[in-house]
Amino acid sequence: EQMKDMGIKQVLIGHSERRGEFGILAYDSNATLATKLKYILDAGMSCVFCIGEPKSIREKGLDAVLAEMDKQLEKIYGLLDPAKVIIAYEPVWAIGTGLTATPQDAQATHAGIRKLIAQKASPAVADAIRIQYGGSANAKNAPDLSAQPD
């Protein structure tokens, strides 16, 4: 309520530091994030909802990455409103490390996330929702990342 009273219209939740990456205490679980998202939407605000995987999962391949994305999204599929929720795919291994997914890897992951949303929310939601890449994007790689269809 305080954020709404201050005129804040959009919030970001689920960032890796809050999820307990980097050896920091886990302040948010998938369950608490679902509760927060519902509250945010009920309050009339919009949300950037962060998801991502550590390097140990990325090294197992795309199927393992998408299994982790499904775990992080499973409690919010029913809350996804493309007009109010943006999914920010932020691979933990690429945050502040100088590493970044190739445009092809980012596209494959985004397409996989969109497919999960189509299967578990609806095709209409999947087609309309924005999925953006947020792992060490910079002026040099942003044009190639942004050129990807998903």
Catalytic center residues: 15, 90
Tell me the CA distances in angstroms from 136 to 14, 23, 141, one per residue in order.
17, 20, 9
Residue ranges in 43-122 assigned as alpha helix (H): 55-58, 62-73, 103-120
Ramachandran quadrant class, 49 (left: phi over 0; alpha: psi -120 to 50; beta: rest): beta
Environment class of residue 147 by beta-carbon count within 10 Å: exposed (0-12), middle (13-18) or buried (19+)? exposed
Report the C-alpha gap between 87 and 131 in whole angstroms.
Answer: 5
